[in-house]
Amino acid sequence: MENSEDIIRAILGQIKQPLWENWYIQEHIGSGSYSAVYKIAARRMNRTDISALKIEPIVPDETTLLDEDLRRRSIEYKRSLVDNESTIMYELRNSRYIVAYQDEDIRELYIDGKLEGYYFLIRMEYLECVRDLIKDKKLKLTENNIRRLAHDIGHGIKDAHDRGIIHRDLKPGNLFYSTDGVFKLGDFNISKQTVRSTTFAGTAGYLAPEVYFSKSKKGDYYTAQADIYSFGICLYRFMNDYYMPFEKEMLAEAAVDKRMKGVPLPKPSNASDEFARIILKACAYDRSERYQTIDEMLSDLDALNRKKTAPAAVPDQPVPVQVQQIPPRVMPMTSMQPQPVIQPVMQPQPMMQPVYPMNNPYPAPPVRKSSSGILVWLVVLLSIAVLAVSAIAGYKLYNEHNDGSSGQKTVPISSVELDSNRAVIEIYDDIEITDVVCPDEVRMSDIGKLFGYSYNSVTHAETTVTVTVNSDATEKLYCDAPPDISIYSERDGNEYTITIDASELKGKDKTCRLSFYGEETGESAELELEVKNTGPFGKDVVRESSDPSIIEFHEDKTFTVYKTGEVTVSWIYNGEVKYSKKINITK
C-alpha cells in the first residue's frame, strides 16, 4: 500500500459490521500519523449509545518489502506498541480524567489476497477534542476556563504518573472535553511505563529540552518532568492568544531554537501574574527550576483556585461547549483470552494475554466469541434474577460441542464432585527490571535522586480445580462466584478443568465460597476459596552495593554515600539479581 490512507481504506473494506455485536461505524472524525478515528453508534431498545473507534494498522515498513525477517520484526515491533497502548489505557480505565477505554479487538489484514499484517480496533468514549473546540470557537480561552482545564488534565497526568507512565505527547490535540463538563487526557500511543527514558518521542514545539536533546546528545535522559514541561507549553499557548513562546515575534522554528537555548520565556499575555508564575515554572528550561512532580503543580493550582478574588486579566465565561450527542456509556469489556469456555454474567471479563500459534509467521490475533443479541438479553435477565436473591455473580460453564442444541433431550446433571473442597490462591508478581535511573558516572552531590527503576510484571493470581459430573450429562454446569472472581473452564468428557482468576483482588485478601451446580436438579458441590496477597510485588525490589564502604543501602530503602570510588549496584527481587550496573562516584 502507498500510504496510511490507502491502508485505512483497505481495513474499512474488510471490517464486518456490526462490531461488538451492535456497533456500526457512522462517520470519520479524525486522523493521526498512523491511525484514524470514527464515530460509532449502537442502537438499544430505547436509546442510541455513541462511542469512538480508533483503527491502528499493524503493517511492516516499506523498507522491509524484500526481507521477510525484517517484515516480521517490523510487525512484531508495531504490535508491541499497540499492546503497550492497550495495557496503559486498561490500567487507567477508572480515572475520571483519562479518556475511558471500553473494548478492543485485533484482526488479520489482507491486501490483494495476501496477509500483510493486522489492524487494532479500540473502542473508547466519544469526546470533543480541545484543539477542535478552540478552532471552532466553542471554547473561549479565558483564564477561568483554562484553570479548569489545568486542574482536570493535571489530575489525568497525575493518575498516569502515579502508575509510572510518561505520556510523552501532551498537546492540545490529545486533550478532550466530555458532555458532563470534564477535560480528559487521551492518546497513549507513544506513552511509556518507565522511570526514565532516552528515546526521542513527542511532537515538535511541545518537547521538553531534555527530550529535544535526547535525539543527538548522548547519555541524556528524561523523566515524568518532561510531561510537566509539555503541559506548561499547552497552558502557555492557551493564555497567549494560542501562540507558543516567542512566536508573536518570529517563525515557529526560530522560536523553538530560542527556547532550546534557555532564553527565559516572557509572561503569557492573557494570564494573571499568579497563573503566569505557575505556567512559567512548569515550562522552565532547567529541570531543577521546574516543578519536580505534577503534585507540586496541582498544589499551586489548587491554592490559586481557592482564592476568592478573580484574575484581572480577562473577563471569564463558562466553557460554552455544545455537544449534541447522547452521553456515552462505558460498556463492559470483553476478555482478551481466545475462545473462553466460560462467560461471566453481568461482570466485565479480565484482560488476558493472547496466545499465538508457533507456526504462524506473524503474531496471530486473538479470536473473540460473541453470543447473539437475544442470548445476551436472556443472560442479562437471568443474572438480574440471580442477583436479586444473592450478591454473587453467576457463571455458565458449558462445552461448545455438547450443549444439548442438537434436538436431543438434555440429560440433567445428577452428580457434581470436586477434587478438593478447598483451594488457595497466592497472589504475587514476576518482574523483569527494564531500566534504572543510574548513569555510568555521577557526582556525590547529584546522587540523591538516583537508583529508581522501571519494570514489567506478570501477576500470578490463579489456581485450578477439577469438577466431575455424571458421564451422560448434557445439561450446562453453572458456578456462583463473587463478582471480583473470574471463572474459565475446559471440558473433557465428564470432567471440567476450572481456572479461578483472582487478579481483581490484588492488594486485598478474601475468603469466599464458590458453588458448582446443575440447574435442573440443583445438585451441587461447594469450594472454599482463600485468596492471599503473599507477594512479592514490584515495590519489593531491594538494592545492594558491592562495596558498602562506598555506598550503603538500608532496609528502609534509603542509602548513604561515604566516599568516591567504583562500585556495582544490584537491584534484587525475591532473592534474584534482576539488574546490576557498575558506576563511578566522583566528587
Question: Where exactly are the structural domains of the chain?
Answer: 4-125, 128-306, 342-355+370-428+459-532, 439-449+539-586
Q: Which of 268, 226, 232 is nearest to 150 (CA)?
A: 232
Peptide bond into 363 cis (omega under 30): no
Rg over alpha carbons for the chain, rounded to the nearest Å, is 27
How many other β-carbons are positioned within 10 Å of the β-carbon of residue 468? Answer: 15
Task: Determine the angle formed by the axes of helices 225-238 and 294-306, rounding to 10 degrees.
Answer: 40
The amino acid at 156: G
pLDDT of residue 201: 86
Per residue in 298-343, pLDDT (tens digit) is 999 999 988 744 433 333 443 433 333 323 323 222 222 322 333 3
pLDDT of residue 217: 61
CATH homologous superfamily, domain 4-125: Phosphorylase Kinase; domain 1 (3.30.200.20)
Q: Which of 583, 576, 548, 575 is nearest to 562 (CA)?
A: 548
Peptide bond into 311 cis (omega under 30): no
pLDDT of residue 152: 96
Q: What average pLDDT does the chain have?
A: 80
The larger pLDDT score, comparing residue 384 to residue 107, is at 107
Lowest mean pLDDT of 18-22, 32-36, 79-83, 269-273, name the range.
32-36
Q: How far apart are CA 65 and CA 74, in angstroms?
A: 11
Buried b (16+ CB within 10 A) or exposed e, 352-388: beeeeeeeeebbbbbebeeeeeeeeeebeeebeebee
Q: How far apart are CA 279 and CA 502, in angstroms?
A: 44
Q: What is the bridge-based pairing of β-strands 559-561 and 551-553?
A: antiparallel
Average pLDDT, stretch 156-172? 94
Q: How far apart are CA 388 and CA 381, in angstroms?
A: 11
Average pLDDT, stretch 148-162? 95
Residue showing cell 489525568:
156
Predicted TM-score (pTM) of this structure:
0.54
Per residue in 495-509, pLDDT (tens digit) is 999 989 898 888 889
CATH number for region 128-306 = 1.10.510.10
Top-confidence range, 197-201, 304-308, 447-451: 197-201
Q: How far apart are CA 132 and CA 38, in angstroms?
A: 15
* DSSP H/E element including 572: strand 565-573
pLDDT higher than threshold 90 for residue 153:
yes
The larger pLDDT score, comparing residue 341 to residue 216, is at 216
* DSSP H/E element including 304: helix 294-306
CATH number for region 342-355+370-428+459-532 = 2.60.40.10
